[in-house]
């Protein structure tokens, strides 16, 4: 494993109990959890908005949101109206707004309330005295898991009517991107995207990774990382998956495209635990999916 990647993973291990402060807020009538670096950081910090999955909640992926804050971001996660935990009142078994088996029937009206939540949240925070002098809204990234991935992609241009100006990048975690793929709207994405999927997430991963799937339909810069033996909930607190590689790729992507940091080697090299890595960006183009097994000498082993 290259020293730079080894160093990155070592740093992530050292986060252990992530060095972040968590607080629960009321913003624009919504419950929102915010994470900030535990220690003072000079200057304004880039902002990440996290959108949870269907019947999840703001703290469903605390191990990720804490780590993002420890890495120098302010992270905000709203409870959408379908939240079922941490104060969310929607029963987990309540029927969905539209059958997920019929993505061709989805329109810009489907779960639009989630996109509207993000807009209201940003508007409410923009002049909030608690964050006004700390948040750098010129460096804004969207992160979403499952239906939250659908939400983030829609706001980044997959639904033209949802387009949210000022976004720098989208991190889509096991995203429900089926409506965009079926209706071929992902060409409307206007920011870099990283898709992260699990090898064992059979309803989601094939749609993203297949020929003419979500990854291929997305414009450059784009990345696809598939984690070995990971299921749909690997990005949440309810799953025991080792998330070191997930954090390594997530931070490498966000740091480069949201913070504007130099590109880390992880963006083009598969780490142990990665079943597949693809990319097409200013860093190059992987015509063949790269895996730990087929990486040439000098790769991730």
Query: Where are the domains positioned within the chain?
Result: 18-89+105-261
H helices present in the chain, as ranges: 3-15, 62-70, 112-126, 147-153, 178-183, 205-209, 214-217, 244-254
Mean pLDDT per 10-residue interval, the chain, length 301 residues: 45 57 95 93 94 91 97 96 67 61 94 97 93 95 98 98 98 98 98 98 97 98 97 94 95 98 95 95 84 41 24
Enter the tokens of residue 76: 């905000």
pLDDT digits (tens, 9 = 90+) for 136-173: 999 999 999 999 999 999 999 999 999 999 999 999 99
Composition of the chain by helix, strand, coil, percent to 5 = 30, 25, 45
The whole model's pTM is what? 0.90
- Residue 188: DSSP 8-state: G
Q: How far is CA 49 from the centre of its chain?
A: 9
Looking at the structure, give the CATH architecture of the domain made up of residues 18-89+105-261. Answer: 3-Layer(aba) Sandwich (3.40)
Query: Quick one: tokens of 173?
Result: 């975690």
**What pLDDT does 101 receive?**
87
């Amino acid at each position: 494993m290259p020293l730079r990647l080894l160093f990155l993973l070592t740093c992530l291990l050292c986060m252990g109990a992530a060095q972040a402060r968590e607080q629960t807020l009321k913003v624009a009538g919504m419950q929102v959890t915010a994470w900030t670096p535990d220690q003072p950081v000079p200057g304004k910090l880039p902002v990440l908005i996290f959108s949870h999955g269907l019947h999840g909640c703001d703290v469903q992926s605390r191990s990720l949101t804490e780590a993002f804050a420890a890495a120098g971001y302010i992270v905000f996660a709203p409870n959408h109206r379908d939240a079922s935990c941490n104060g969310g009142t929607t029963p987990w078994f309540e029927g969905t707004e539209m059958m997920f088996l019929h993505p061709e029937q989805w329109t810009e009206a489907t779960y639009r309330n989630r996109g509207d939540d993000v807009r209201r949240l940003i508007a409410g925070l923009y002049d909030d005295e608690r964050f006004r002098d700390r948040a750098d809204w010129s460096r804004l990234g969207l992160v979403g898991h499952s239906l939250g991935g659908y939400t983030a992609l829609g706001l980044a241009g997959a639904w033209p009517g949802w387009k949210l100006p000022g976004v720098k990048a989208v991190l889509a975690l096991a995203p429900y991107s089926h409506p965009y793929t079926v209706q071929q709207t992902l060409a409307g994405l206007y920011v870099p995207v990283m898709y992260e999927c699990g090898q064992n997430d059979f309803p989601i991963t094939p749609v993203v990774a297949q020929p003419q799937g979500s990854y291929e339909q997305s414009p450059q810069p784009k990345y696809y990382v598939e984690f070995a033996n990971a299921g749909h909930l690997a990005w949440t607190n309810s799953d025991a998956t080792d998330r070191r590689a997930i954090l390594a790729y997530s931070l490498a992507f966000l740091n480069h495209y949201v913070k504007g940091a130099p590109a880390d080697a992880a963006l083009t090299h598969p780490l142990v635990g990665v079943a597949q890595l693809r990319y097409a960006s200013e860093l190059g183009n992987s015509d063949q999916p790269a895996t730990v097994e087929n990486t040439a000498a000098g790769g991730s082993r």
